[in-house]
Structure 1
Amino acid sequence: MTAEAAVWTLADPRAGTAAQALGIAERLGVPFRTVPLAWGGMAGLPWPWPSLGGLTPAARAAFRPPWPRLVISAGRRAAPVARWLGRRGARLVHCMRPGFGAAEFDLLVLGRHDRPKEAANILPILGACHRMSPARLEVARRDWVALADLTAPRIALLVGGPVRAEGMDPTRAAAIGAEVAGFAGSVLATASRRTGGAATEALAASLAGVPHRLHRWGDAGPNPYAGFLAWADAVVVSGDSVSMLSEALATTVPVFIADPGGLGLRHLRLHGGLIAAGQAKMLAAAPTPFDRPRLDEAARVAAEIRTRGWL
């Protein structure tokens, strides 16, 4: 927003990471400045001290006074940048583990599935912060009203994929799609960059016998992702994506976790935590409905910032 804002949000070039910081800033209800981060060749190195050294020269040029009172950041690479601003008087709120200098942050927002230790500056949350606010879902419901014509129950199917691999196993993608198609009136499906082309086409084939909309990664035109969530009667999410699981929980409908296979302990802890909190069930429990409250951890973090008087 304004260049003179007292709140700066450091926006990592990775959309999912940036969304964690932006989601908190948007819940504060005050003007904030978004500072885009662009990483240079030194960004991959560990930076144990406060520094702008990982940024490109053009990105560094955006750092000029007046300095902010509050900085919100996310991701390991942004941590030394935030600490550099902290040395200039800013309060620091950071999502995800910072790598170095944890004690320099006024508030660290960490997922419970990462097993954070207890400390005065650590706020454990379920899942991750994001930008899928109730207000955004309300707008999406108006913008995508045509989805109301699809047969109920409308099941949003959010498919991710492994972080460091060549896409989801097409057989597994097809199996998830077929299971959802078996109880859906219609399916609102979206594939991510990590899903891969082969798995996306296998998913498409599995949905052929039921009314559906499938948004492939890279499709032209407006992205219906928020509209799918806004119009869903239930949401099924592949369990590899912390971001998509967290965004699904911004709704008030049942959320079911589909096992894509090959998940590590971190993701399994997340699933267990969500199930224990009554926020989700595994796909095997579908389509039996269950009640759950909306989960908005970004709003909870914003409330903590206001309570501590940092605005």
Structure 2
Amino acid sequence: MRPIRLREPSSPTMVKAEIFEGGVYGVIRRAVVIGNGSSCAENQCIGLVQALGLADKHVLYRVTRPRGGINDWLHWLPVSLHKKLDYIMTLIGVYTRVLVRSKGRKLVPLSSENGGSTGLSCILEADLKHIVSMVRETYEKNGPLLVVASGRDTITITSSIRRLVSENVFVVQIQHPRLQLNRFDLVITPHHDYYPLTPQAQEQVPRFIRKWITPREPPDQRVVLTVGALHQIDFAALRSAASAWHDVFAPLPKPLLVVNVGGPTSRCRYGVDLAKQLATGLLSVLASCGSVRISFSDRTPEKVYNVIVKELGDNPKVYIWDRQEPNPHMGHLAWADAFVVTADSVSMISEVCSTGKPVYVIGTERCKWKYSAFHKSLKERGVIRPFTGTEDISESWSYPPLNDTAEAATRVREELAKRGWGIRP
């Protein structure tokens, strides 16, 4: 079987005169990505920027939160309030240490695990004043700026950037900001983010918290709806990965089954029970596999990892990634003949479904809320099938690959054109 079945995507045609109609003031040649420290969120932003031809012309900023100890329970607070509270807790900790020292006791270093904040100064912080000043000072020379952000923590800063320098920026917010969509030029979000507005969801959500559920109103003209999450996987990336990982994967017996294991979330709860179910299913399909490669995410619990290793680690057909670099993820996407993935990650499922290869998902029955709506939409499209352990992995089936990132990039270009702007790759 061929490792890659994707067609070369047709790039959007652009008329040169339209791009340069407004001179430097009508051409976007740079971008700012504002992330929240989550690899999934930032991957979506970078994927969009890459699809727009600005992969080497963007700067990454981050809205960071204090982490460790009680901070991990305070992520529901606005970022600014969280940081102020952390600062106060740090001062209290320092003052307590001074008192302890004054009594002649041993001084214990203040640990970030007990409420202290560490590492914030080591990250390029998304400073509103700095970004706004940069836009104003460089506009005459470099033209307008594309701002792409993702995640709840970035909303305040991106909406403020647009409010302060709206004529010099185009702001794209990925993932639904819940309300006041007019704060952004474009919002890119999956269909399942609108699940809370469905009759089924209205029955599930208590009335007193409905107004806090994303979103509050149906999508308008500034909303781009996708099937899944944006990402950086496209034909060029897979072709490059196929070449880079050729020596590792080309000799493997076919078909190659790649298994991606994530981790439980509040909307997809599971543990050792699902790990055992997965291991049993994989043992059942081994006869139809040439090779099996298993990888885990950063969220995979140790107990889930241990079950898989115990049940499959000694099988000669199976290779289990030890989570050491280099990460074979791109090689897996390029060379796999089929995938089995756990149901907990929209991003992970979206990536494998962009290959057009068979995708089997395990654990969908353990998911609820908008995760269920996401799985249902993929099943109805014929993109995924449940993993039962009775599959013949040598059986090949296909579907139109998910192409959300390229389609979202096309919409961005269309909205820019309405303003008389274009993008210079």
Q: TM-score, normalised by structure 1?
A: 0.87
Instruction: Say yes or no: does 1:65 pair with 2:134.
Output: yes
Q: 2:58 aligns with which of 13, 28, 33?
A: 33
Q: What pairs with 1:141-290 in structure 2 (closer than 5 Å)?
A: 141-145=242-246, 146-164=248-266, 168-183=270-285, 184-207=289-312, 208-216=314-322, 219-259=323-363, 262-284=366-388, 286-287=391-392, 288-290=395-397
User: 2:249 and 2:373 mapped to 1: Cα distance?
Assistant: 34
Contact 2:172–2:186 under 8 Å retained in 1:
yes
Task: Give SS of 1:77's match.
Answer: helix
Using the TM superposition, name which of 128-137 and 222-231 deviates more.
Answer: 128-137
Which of 403, 406, 409 matches 1:302? 409
Paired with 2:399 and 2:157, the residues of 1 have a C-alpha distance of 38
CA contact (8 A) 2:230 2:404 kept: yes
Q: Which moved more, 1:283-292 or 1:150-159?
A: 283-292
Maintained 8 Å contact 1:163/1:194: no
The alignment covers a number of residue pairs equal to 299
Q: Is the 8 A contact 1:168 1:260 kept in 2?
A: no
Please state how far the C-alpha of 1:137 moved relative to its aligned partner. 1.3
Q: Which amino acid aligns with 2:396?
A: P
Match of 2:229? 128
Aligned equivalent of 1:14 = 38
Report the Cα offset of residue 174 of structure 1: 2.8
Note the C-alpha offset of 1:40. Answer: 4.1
SS at match of 2:241: helix
Displacement, 1:69? Answer: 2.9
* Structure 1 counterpart SS, 2:53: coil
Which residue number in structure 1 is paired with residue 176 of structure 2? 97
Cα distance in 1 for residues equivalent to 2:332 and 2:400: 19
Q: 1:135 to 1:62 in 2, by over 3 A?
A: farther
Offset, 1:164: 4.8
1:43-122 mapped onto 2 (5 Å cutoff): 45-46=77-78, 59=125, 60=127, 63=131, 64-66=133-135, 68-87=144-163, 88-89=165-166, 90-115=169-194, 117-122=218-223
Structure 1 unaligned spans of 5+: 49-55
Give distance in 2, aligned partners of 1:100 and 1:81. Answer: 15
CA distance in 1, matches of 2:157, 2:223: 19
Any unmatched runs of 5+ in structure 2?
Answer: 1-27, 67-73, 81-119, 137-143, 196-217
Q: Helix, strand or coil: the match of 2:134?
A: coil
> SS in structure 1 opposite 2:354?
coil
Shift of 1:215: 1.8
The answer on whether the counterparts of 2:35 and 2:61 sit within 8 Å (CA) in structure 1 is yes
Cα separation, partners in 2 of 1:84 and 1:199, compared to 1, 3 Å: same
Deviation at 1:130, TM superposition (A): 0.9
Aligned partner of residue 73 in structure 1, secondary structure = strand
Contact kept, 8 Å, 2:63 with 2:154, in 1: the verdict is no
Q: What does residue 51 of structure 1 align with?
A: none
Comparing 77-86 with 254-263, greater Cα deviation is found at: 254-263
| Residue 107 of structure 1: how far off its partner (Å) | 1.4
Greater share of residues in helix = 2
Distance change (3 Å), C-alpha of 1:37 and 1:43: farther
1:44 shift after superposition:
5.1
Displacement of 1:16 in angstroms is 0.7
1:303 shift after superposition: 1.0
Q: In 2, are the aligned partners of 1:185 and 1:210 still within 8 Å (CA)?
A: no
In structure 2, distance between residues paired with 1:100 and 1:129: 21
* Structure-2 change in CA distance of 1:118 and 1:189 (3 Å): same
SS of equivalent to 1:289:
coil
Measured after TM superposition, the shift of residue 171 of structure 1 is 3.2
How far 1:211 sits from its partner (Å)?
1.2
Q: How many Å separate the matches in 1 of 2:284 and 2:50?
A: 38
Which structure's relative contact order is higher, taking Cα pairs within 8 Å and 6+ residues apart?
2
Q: 1:185 is aligned with what amino acid?
A: G
Deviates more, 1:238-247 or 1:289-298: 289-298
The Cα of 1:43 is off from its aligned counterpart by: 7.5
For the pair shown, the structure with the greater C-alpha radius of gyration is 2
2:35–2:151 Cα contact (<8 Å) kept? no
Mapped to 1, the partners of 2:327 and 2:130 lie a distance apart of: 30
Q: 1:289 to 1:29 in 2, by over 3 A?
A: same
